[in-house]
Structures are given as C-alpha cells and as structure tokens.
Structure 1
Amino acid sequence: MPYCLPKAFQAWKWAGLLSTRTPSMSKIAAGMASPPFETWPHSTRRAPPRKGGRAGAPGAGGAFGAHEGIQRLDGPARPCGGEPVQILCAGDFHIGRRPTRLPPEAGVGLSAAQAWQDLVALALERSVDLVVLTGDVVDRDNRYFEAFGPLEAGLDALARARIPVAAVAGNHDYDVLPRLAESFPGNFHLIGAGGRWERVTLATKGGTVHLDGWSFPREHVTSDPLAAYALAPPREGLWLGLLHGDLDQPGSHYAPLTMEGLRQAGPVAWLLGHIHSPRLISAGAGADLLYPGSPLALSPKEPGPHGPWLLEVGGDGRLRFEHLPRSRVRYEVVEVDLTGVETEEAIRPRVAEAVRERLEGVLVEAGEHLQHLLCRIRATGRTRLHRRVARAIEPAVEDLAIRRGQAVATVESVVVDTRPVWDLAGLAAGSGPPAVLARLLLILQEGEASPQRAELLTEARTVLKGLAGRPPYGLLDRDPAAEVAPDDEALARLVERQGWLLLDELLAQGGGGEPFAAGEA
C-alpha cells in the first residue's frame, strides 16, 4: 500500500499551517518582516505553493542521461499523489576559485560564483521544489567576502520564488558556511552543523521531503559519520540523506564512508559531496548514491561533462535522476594517433582536426552552455618522429583556438605517449645502457602482479618524492610527487614515457642495438 499523506496533513499543508524551523534559524526568521517560511521549533519546514505551473521544458540528459531507480518497497519514505517533486542537486562549487589552465583572454564569468548564479537561474527556470547543496559551496574561509554577494543574491531570488535551499558543510567550508548562513534569508537551511545529525522536513505540493544531514565540524574527520546516525525513520514522505565525504576510502581524513553503510542506513537515496566527478550508483537493493560532482569543471583532473542533477520523484515513489551538463568549461583528453606519420608537417593537421571534432561533439551534448573547451592532447602510436612529436605539437598550446558560436576550444597541455619503432625485445637481449633500459621498459609493460614491476615503481616513487622536497617544489603547500603520479599506473606511464625518450636519444647517438622493429626497416 502506498505511503499516502494523511488527509489531516494535506489539509494543514494547503492551509499553510505546517511549517517549522530549527531554533537557531528561527532567531533569524523572527527578525524578518515577511519571512518566506513560517517557523516552528521542530526542524520541519514548509515550502509554500508557488503561483503558476512549472516553467521550462526538460533538458537533454548528458553522458549519464536519465536514470531511474526504484525505492525499496519496505521503506516508509515515499510521497504519493499530487505533482512530482523536483529537487535540483549540486555540490563542490568552491566559490572563490576559477578553472585552471584557462588562457588569459578567457572571460571573467568563467568562475565558481558564476556557476552558482547559473544554478539559481536553472532552479527558477524549472520552478523546482527544492535546491540541495552537498558541501564545499565556498572554497575557503578567506573567500567569505567573495562568496557573500553571489550567495545572498541567489538565495534572495530563490526565496522570492518560494524555493528553499538545503545544504551541508564540507571540509573546505566547515567554518565559513555556518557563518555565512547566519546572514542569509530564512529559506536557507544548513543541516547538521557542528557534526550533529539533524533532520529537516519540507512540505511540497507533491508530498513531504525529509532530509537527514551531517556537516563537517572541522577540516579533517577520520571516522565514519554514519556511526553516530540514529534518527528514527519518518512515518511518511520522501526520505533522503545529505553527506559530504569520501566513499570506500578507509584511511581518508575526509569523513570516510562505505557503500554498504549508506545503502543500509535507511534513506532511499544519498546526495553526496567531496568527489568532483559526477557519479551515480544505483542497484535493485539499497539506497541510490549520487555524487553530483562540481557543476563547473575546475581542472584537467575533472574531464567530461559537469553540471547539476535533477532528481524527480513521482507520485508512485519512483526516483528519476537526470544529469544536466551545463558547465561553461569542460576539459577533455583528445587522443591523436600518429602511427605511420613521416613528417612534422603531417602531425599538425591531425591535431587541429582532432580538436575540431571533439569541440563539435561536445557541443551536441552541452549546447549553448559551453564557452570554453580545454583539450589535453595525448599523442599515441608508433612513429619514427617520436622525439620530435612534442616540438611539433606544443605550439598549439599558445596558438590553436577553434571557435563554434560562443564556444572556443584551446589546448592546455600536450602528453607524448608515442613509441619509437625500436625492437624492444631485440634490444633487451643485447648489452650496454640501451639493453638495460629496454629491459626496464619491458618490466613496466608487465601486469600489476609482477614483483619486478612493483619494485621498480617503489624505487621510482622514492626518487620522485626526494625531488619533490627540493627547491623550489619544497616551498609548495602540497605534495608535487603525488600530484604528478597519484597512483602506480600514473607513475608507470610517467616512467615509461621518459624511458622511451631516453632510449630513443641513446640509440640516435649510436648507442647500439637494432634500430627498427620487424617490418619497419
């Protein structure tokens, strides 16, 4: 039997009698002449009905498309009847930051603050019932003033449209977001401040929405917040959880979570923050898990589509997730196969054509929202020009710019993963430095289970960390070694890339060995 709202509840809801707030936010609302929401001191809140119907047509799904998950049949949290509930979800804005590797002439509007304004505009366009933010809305405490203006303006616009905003604080804004919240209109609900679990209940025209949330009390949290989660299941309505944390990373300093723990905690879906790449995890049993990712791509480490997610819950309790790839900036790795290329002049058209094709493909998905596509060129294949590939492509970083409408594609960096045409096995059978280097390269090509490969990578990481501690890298407030090679596979690619360049140089200087692979001479 569906979990319908009691008739008395429905009557109270439409009469405007059901609306409550937490004591801390009540003090703020009490000082407002016309608060957008009436307040009761019991952590439940009402979103009053808005005039008119929903505006805007559904947008096209991104690479993730639209996804449907079914709520668990044994759960108490599902609205029924009435219109669907629409929740716009985003996280990890990091207001105060701009995307990296943008050329100097890139527009000043390409910022996290602009991404927040875009989200507000989308919420108003779609006339959603609720906006949810999953932490790290602000980048750091020293961004207080930079964040204040855009946040206040956006929250004020949403308040006038009767669209409440619920958020949790992450490891970046654990201190600044609670302070900012004290100055915002009464429709902004910071949940679980100080690391204490809290439930906020909103009444919408489609049914009640219960949000159980926990906010970072300090920058580093090494325990699973779910260990202290003891809120009783609600008697009716949609039951969601909000958290900022690291999934399945036991040693993390950022609220380590487990997939199993989240799935069995009770809420039918968890809206999560901390991971900047969007990720939806859904299965037949247990809760759906959504990392909406950063709505604006911020670095080359975050390739692919970015944008908010729309969660729609129908009267039958079905959850539908839709990714809206509206990021104004996008990073892509563009592979260019140079196999068989004989001249440097032949390399450049391949690169330009690959960038053009990628821009046109991304525009099909992102449409008018895209303003800047930053491409990392990855040259692959076997070519006699191995040592000259970088020289041929690197001018594209400064010079190449391809436009389609308001969107422009540029090259932010070049990675050369081509291979010379040397016969590696034949060289390894010989003697001298080229033979030693060839044997090391063959070891790197072995699988992860190879003890020799593991030993080689351990030694390489030790050397890399030693270099990272020397000037000028040692002055940086980060670990350059981890940034260059965050895992063994990245380290293996780095060492192999340099090994091929060194081998090519040795053989070009007459270091010995058979120069070409079979069929290449």
Structure 2
Amino acid sequence: MSSFRFIHTADIHLDSPMRGLSDEVPGIAERLRLATREALTALVDAAIERAVDFVVIAGDVYDGDWRDYQTGVFFARQMHRLAAASIPVYLIHGNHDAQNQMTRSLSLPDNVQVFSHEAAETRTLDGLDVALHGMSYARREVTDNLVPGYPEPAPGVFNIGLLHTALGGRDGHANYAPCTLDELTAKGYDYWALGHVHSAEVLAEHPHVVFSGNLQGRSIRETGAKSAFEVGVEDGRVVALQPIYCDVARWAERGVDVADADDFNDVIAAMRRAIEAGAADVEGRLLAIRLRLTGTTALHDRLTAAPERLLAEARAAAAGLGSAQVYVEKIKLATEPELDAASRRARQDALGEMQRLLVDAADDPDIRAMIEKDIRRLAERLPHDIRADADDPLLRAAIDGDTATLIDGAGAYLLARLAAGETPS
C-alpha cells in the first residue's frame, strides 16, 4: 500500500464577520476582518510548500450566502494555486454553506471535487491507494444520522470519511448529523475527517477520528491556537498527525488580579502586564484580548463607574507595545467590593437607603412587571446575531427575561456610580 500525506481542515468560514470588533482601532479591526482570508492563504502556502498529496475540507468553507461574488472568487483563486501545484481538493458542504443556503455559485477548477448533497459517495485518487467517502449538506438543519448511509470501506486501500457533525452534541454547536464515536470507529474507515466543532480534538486513534477545528478564531468564544492537520500515512496506517497553525490572529482572555491595587495607576499597570504577557504568547500574530479584572478591592466602585476609561487605558497600553499588534476587545469587571451587600444595606446614609430600595424593587411585582414589559420590547428589536451571541451579563439577562439579574446588575452599577462620585482623573 502506498505512502502519502494529506491536509485535513474544516470550518474556514471565509469572510465571516468577526464578533466584538470596534472601528475605534481601525487598522487592527480591518486586519481582523481579513483574517479568514489570510488563514486560508497560509493553508494553501503550507500545502504547496509541503507538497502534500491532497487536501480534504470537512465542511463550512463559507459562512453563509455571499454578500457579493468576491468571497467565491477568492476561494477559487486559492484552489487554482493548488491546481497549479497538482494538489487535488476534496470537500463537503456543512450547515453554513449547505446547498439551500447558497444563492450564488462559481465554477471551481477541476482539482476540486465536491461531494454530492443527495447521497454519500466515494471518490478515489489516481496513483494512490486511498478512497474518500463523503456527503454534503442539502440544507442547514441536518438532524439525521448520516453515517449509516456512507459506503462500505473499499478493500485494500486507506479509507477516509468526511463528515460535518456535532457527534451527538458539543458545547456551543448545534447537534447536526448526530452520531456516536462507536458508530464511526465501527464503520471500518481508517480516518474520519470531521468538521463543525471549532476546537481541534483527536477522539480516537487507529482508526483515527479527528476534529481539525476551525482555521481562524473569529470571536472571544474561539480562543487559542487554530490549525489544520497534516496527516502522514504509511502502509495503510496513520504514522503522523501534525498541526499546521494558519491563524493570523488569536483571541485570548486573561485574568488581572487587582486586589493589591492602591489606585487607578496600579490597575493600569496590571492590565499592561497582562497585555504584554498575552502578546508574548502568540508568536508575532495579532492578539485580540479580553481582560477580566478580579479581586476584592476598595477600588471596586471607582472601576465600575469608569468602564470607558478602563477600556481606553487598556487600548492605550496596547498601542504602546511597539511592533506587537494587540486589540483589546473588552474589559470585564469581576471585582468585589470590600463591603458586602448586607453591610451596605446597614449603612445609615444615602447609599444604604439606595441599597434597601433596590432590594425592595427586586421583590415588588409591579416594578418587575414594568421592567419585564419594557425590556422585552427592546430585546425583541435586537438583531438575531446580537441576541444569539450576547455575553454581557446584563444584556443576556435582558434577552432572557431574567429580571432579578437585571435589577441586581443595574443596581450594582448605580450604587457604584454613587459611591465613586465623579470619575477620578
């Protein structure tokens, strides 16, 4: 049986909008918007430089219907580069680029083979003892188990299955094409190239069942290194599985303990150290970072009252790193005041009275009903993407109709503003 090498990738989501971007940092924001294109270019560069025998893409080349044809033109251009290097490409479409999701299409070069959306099928490569089996999605919501319909393994060759699946359910991913690991390993294939789940994971070996993860992180929910896999096969057996890091930007979240901070300058210095450490970890890539301030501190009220300043100071610190490119996406405040809520309620001053009023408001059915009505009306007007991806606690509470959390959070902010007085200079 012949020896060969191939690249397994998935979830490219070409031209996907990045979540959490702000045009207040225009140069970096534009770089992030182009990151999925740059990651695909890096993957094609790697395939050509390593002279792999073929490439498999396990779904979601695109993020959905194109706004214009330029997305398809870019992908076709990269496939032509592989064609010029005599590297074939085998791909399936997933839920984001399913047949009924796409209203536009472009002809791809002959080296690109797209598996049918009507039934699972088998493709073979001239000169190599390998058979590839796969099926594209006909529609976005594929809730059937596709594995039983895949062909039986071809005898005497290395069998690869391409499947876009949540494998029975993964956190943050719709349970499309559900199946079990046992079903995959029992199929008789030598390698399952999986897509849909955006974290790389080797679920089994010999036979190999592998999620390559997505090629480029697109939001703070997709932190860490992103890659494809180069797979080496000798005598019908996987002998090497090597990540190829193609991401040009990485998302990260870092905790910043400010319990020992005496003033705002100490907090700024702690944020700067966290940003510098984050930039050192990404090996020259652009870093998109979220800072999470923690610790019990007398500065809690002042920090809560000054979110805009905190973000501006963090972005100014990032701008001072010289050659490193860093985008501070958000500052999340998770500090605690030195006085707990019970102690604040016991105070015989305006702040204590306000704390008691807020407790009463949370228990008042008329106030709760009024808030629920008004907030629900506003939340229903939000675009679907914002409703689905919201991770701000107060916004999430408003969308979910969690009135108690909404009152607690808004009350905490109001109390902090009152306790802090004017924002410190």
1:480 is the counterpart of 2:387: yes
The 1:373–1:388 alpha-carbon spacing in structure 2 relative to 1, beyond 3 Å, is same
Q: Which amino acid aligns with 1:470?
A: R
**How many residues are matched?**
396
Q: Which amino acid aligns with 1:477?
A: H
Whether the aligned pair in 2 keeps the contact of 1:297 and 1:327 (CA below 8 Å) is yes
Equivalent residue for 1:184? 108
Partner of 1:310, secondary structure, is strand
CA distance in 1, matches of 2:412, 2:106: 62
Equivalent residue for 2:298? 384
Equivalent residue for 1:342? 262
TM-score, normalised to structure 1, is 0.65
Residue correspondence of structure 1 range 359-378 to structure 2 within 5 A: 359-363=279-283, 367=284, 370=285, 372-378=286-292
1:269 is the counterpart of 2:191: yes
Partner of 1:150, secondary structure, is helix
CA distance in 1, matches of 2:108, 2:15: 18
Structure 1 stretch 121-130 or stretch 99-108: which is displaced more? 99-108
TM-score, normalised to structure 2, is 0.79
Q: Which amino acid aligns with 1:270?
A: W
Structure 1 stretch 85-94 or stretch 377-386: which is displaced more? 85-94
Structure 1 stretch 208-217 or stretch 252-261: which is displaced more? 252-261
CA offsets per residue over residues 463-510 of structure 1, 9 Å max, x none?
99977752375251346166336999xx9x998798477458659979
Equivalent residue for 2:312? 395
Structure 1 stretch 104-113 or stretch 298-307: which is displaced more? 104-113
CA distance in 1, matches of 2:287, 2:106: 38
1:94 is the counterpart of 2:13: yes
Equivalent residue for 2:92? 168
Equivalent residue for 1:222? 143
CA distance in 2, matches of 1:296, 1:154: 16
The 1:293–1:437 alpha-carbon spacing in structure 2 relative to 1, beyond 3 Å, is farther
Residue correspondence of structure 1 range 228-267 to structure 2 within 5 A: 228-229=149-150, 231-249=151-169, 252=174, 254-267=176-189
Whether the aligned pair in 1 keeps the contact of 2:40 and 2:246 (CA below 8 Å) is no
CA distance in 1, matches of 2:323, 2:158: 41
CA distance in 1, matches of 2:416, 2:105: 64
CA distance in 2, matches of 1:497, 1:472: 13
CA distance in 2, matches of 1:429, 1:314: 74
The 1:475–1:346 alpha-carbon spacing in structure 2 relative to 1, beyond 3 Å, is closer
Q: CA deviation at 1:435?
A: 7.8
The 1:408–1:351 alpha-carbon spacing in structure 2 relative to 1, beyond 3 Å, is same
CA distance in 2, matches of 1:406, 1:120: 27
CA distance in 2, matches of 1:122, 1:411: 30
The 1:141–1:480 alpha-carbon spacing in structure 2 relative to 1, beyond 3 Å, is closer
Q: Report sequence identity in percent.
A: 25
Residue correspondence of structure 1 range 39-118 to structure 2 within 5 A: 83=3, 85-100=4-19, 101=21, 103-106=25-28, 107-108=30-31, 110-118=34-42
CA distance in 1, matches of 2:129, 2:371: 54
Whether the aligned pair in 1 keeps the contact of 2:295 and 2:334 (CA below 8 Å) is yes
CA distance in 1, matches of 2:414, 2:95: 47
CA distance in 1, matches of 2:165, 2:244: 23
Whether the aligned pair in 2 keeps the contact of 1:211 and 1:240 (CA below 8 Å) is yes
CA distance in 2, matches of 1:158, 1:463: 61
CA offsets per residue over residues 47-94 of structure 1, 9 Å max, x none?
xxxxxxxxxxxxxxxxxxxxxxxxxxxxxxxxxxx54x2211222222
CA distance in 1, matches of 2:161, 2:370: 44
Partner of 1:118, secondary structure, is helix
The 1:237–1:180 alpha-carbon spacing in structure 2 relative to 1, beyond 3 Å, is farther
CA distance in 2, matches of 1:498, 1:362: 39
CA distance in 1, matches of 2:337, 2:404: 15
Q: CA deviation at 1:423?
A: 4.4
The 1:119–1:228 alpha-carbon spacing in structure 2 relative to 1, beyond 3 Å, is same
Partner of 1:256, secondary structure, is coil
CA distance in 1, matches of 2:175, 2:236: 39
Higher Cα radius of gyration? 1
Equivalent residue for 2:125? 202
CA distance in 2, matches of 1:262, 1:316: 18
Structure 2: runs of 5 or more not aligned: 364-368, 420-425
Please tell me the root mean square deviation across aligned C-alpha atoms, in Å.
4.1
Q: CA deviation at 1:163?
A: 0.6
The 1:241–1:429 alpha-carbon spacing in structure 2 relative to 1, beyond 3 Å, is farther
Whether the aligned pair in 1 keeps the contact of 2:72 and 2:105 (CA below 8 Å) is no
The 1:464–1:92 alpha-carbon spacing in structure 2 relative to 1, beyond 3 Å, is farther
Aligned equivalent of 2:58, options 100, 115, 134: 134
Q: Which amino acid aligns with 1:224?
A: N
Q: CA deviation at 1:259?
A: 2.9
Equivalent residue for 2:203? 282
The 1:98–1:307 alpha-carbon spacing in structure 2 relative to 1, beyond 3 Å, is farther
The 1:310–1:183 alpha-carbon spacing in structure 2 relative to 1, beyond 3 Å, is same
Partner of 1:381, secondary structure, is strand
CA distance in 2, matches of 1:261, 1:202: 26
Q: CA deviation at 1:130?
A: 1.0
Partner of 1:313, secondary structure, is strand
CA distance in 2, matches of 1:142, 1:216: 17
Aligned equivalent of 2:377, options 448, 467, 470: 470
Q: Which amino acid aligns with 2:176?
A: Y
Whether the aligned pair in 1 keeps the contact of 2:73 and 2:106 (CA below 8 Å) is no
CA distance in 2, matches of 1:405, 1:225: 51
Q: CA deviation at 1:131?
A: 0.9
